[in-house]
Amino acid sequence: KQEVTQIPAALSVPEGENLVLNCSFTDSAIYNLQWFRQDPGKGLTSLLLIQSSQREQTSGRLNASLDKSSGRSTLYIAASQPGDSATYLCAVPSGGYQKVTFGIGTKLQVIP
Amino acid sequence: DAGVTQSPTHLIKTRGQQVTLRCSPKSGHDTVSWYQQALGQGPQFIFQYYEEEERQRGNFPDRFSGHQFPNYSSELNVNALLLGDSALYLCASRSGLAGGPGQYFGPGTRLTVT
């Protein structure tokens, strides 16, 4: 059974800081790994998708890395802004029908 | 492209009632999955539909049932509602069952059971 853990559960940083969010998973037989953003009471917005054969993906100030063998992924946010405040979720599809298992998320607050 | 759409946006029901939530997948997608997200938790997988059949199911009771139509849209039905069913229900779509890009999520339906 796939289990996904995200550390830290919450993070508060001053504007402009670079930060790293961590995601670990127990079953390395994954198809890909996706990072999502969720604003309070809203749905999920996909940020980055890393295929199992890739090591990292970049989009603007965001960079996600994947180490499948160790069951870890990191989301790096450069020069954080107050608008980055949200919950960040890591999601991993595994198994024959790619059932997606989510972490509980990291709640990020960027202070102006 | 409208992406994944869900209706209604919000819903308030009474304990014991039944509810139906609807989802239209992103254009070109044929696989629909449903997730329940309780407050402060990550989304939990309910079930997945492909070719109008339930292909995989998470750890949810039979009160939760679904359907997929020939146009790939889907419904989630919950019978005998409990207070604990209050959550954000998310629909996700993708193309096919294996490989390829990740899932696209809809905005969700907020269900409140009183």
- Smallest Cβ–Cβ distance between A43 and the set B50, B55, B105 belongs to B105
pLDDT digits (tens, 9 = 90+) for A6-47: 999 999 999 999 999 999 999 888 888 999 999 988 888 889
pLDDT at position B25: 95
Instruction: Verify whether the Cβ–Cβ distance A102 to B99 is below 8 Å.
Output: no
B101 touches chain A (CB under 8 A): yes
- Contact, B73 vs B23, CB < 8 A? yes
Look up residue B10 and give its two tokens.
């919000």
The answer on pLDDT for A90 being more than 70 is: yes
A61 touches chain B (CB under 8 A): no
Among candidates A69, A68, A67, A62, which has minimal Cα distance to A19?
A62
Output phi, psi for A36, to 5 deg: -120, 160
For residue A62, CA distances in Å to A8, A91, B17, B45 come to 18, 16, 44, 27
A24: how many CB neighbours lie within 10 A of its CB?
18
pLDDT at position A66: 96
Where would I find the beta strands (DSSP E) of chain B? Answer: 5-7, 10-13, 19-24, 31-37, 44-50, 53-57, 64-68, 74-78, 87-94, 104-105, 109-113
A95 CB neighbours in chain B (<8 A) are 56
The answer on pLDDT for A91 being more than 90 is: yes
Instruction: Verify whether the Cβ–Cβ distance B42 to A102 is below 8 Å.
Output: yes
pLDDT at position B78: 98
B58 touches chain A (CB under 8 A): yes
B7 CB neighbours in chain A (<8 A) are none
The answer on pLDDT for A96 being more than 90 is: no
- Smallest Cβ–Cβ distance between A43 and the set B45, B99, B108 belongs to B108
pLDDT digits (tens, 9 = 90+) for B68-88: 999 999 999 999 999 999 999
| Mutate which: B103, B111, B112, vs A, most A CBs within 10 A | B103
Instruction: Verify whether the Cβ–Cβ distance A98 to B92 is below 8 Å.
Output: no
A31 CB neighbours in chain B (<8 A) are 98-99
Output phi, psi for B29, to 5 deg: -95, 145
pLDDT at position B1: 66
Instruction: Verify whether the Cβ–Cβ distance B43 to A43 is below 8 Å.
Output: no
Q: Which amino acid is located at A18 in the chain? A: N
B110 touches chain A (CB under 8 A): yes
The whole-chain average pLDDT of chain A stands at 92
